[in-house]
Amino acid sequence: MVRAQAPGPVTFHANIICGMAPDVTGNSVTVQPGQGGESSGHCAFYSTGIGGISWTVG
């Protein structure tokens, strides 16, 4: 979950590293100041597991 600490709305998405499967970009989410939101995605069934998660603003 990301909570907006900026004076205006913030748009972000999750970046999910999926091991041997293609990486996934989560859905884009816009949150208002003081509110929270989640971006999610799913690795393919043949993934060797999640290798990392980060997020991108913008």
CA distance 32 to 46: 36
Give the pLDDT confidence score for residue 5 in this predicted structure. 72
pTM given for the model: 0.79
Give the pLDDT confidence score for residue 40 in this predicted structure. 94
Q: Is the pLDDT of residue 2 over 70?
A: no
* Residues 6-57: tens digit of each pLDDT: 788 999 999 999 999 999 999 999 999 889 899 999 999 999 999 999 999 9
Give the pLDDT confidence score for residue 1 in this predicted structure. 66
Task: Give percent helix, percent strand, percent coil of the chain, each to the nearest 5.
Answer: 0, 40, 60
Give the pLDDT confidence score for residue 46 in this predicted structure. 95
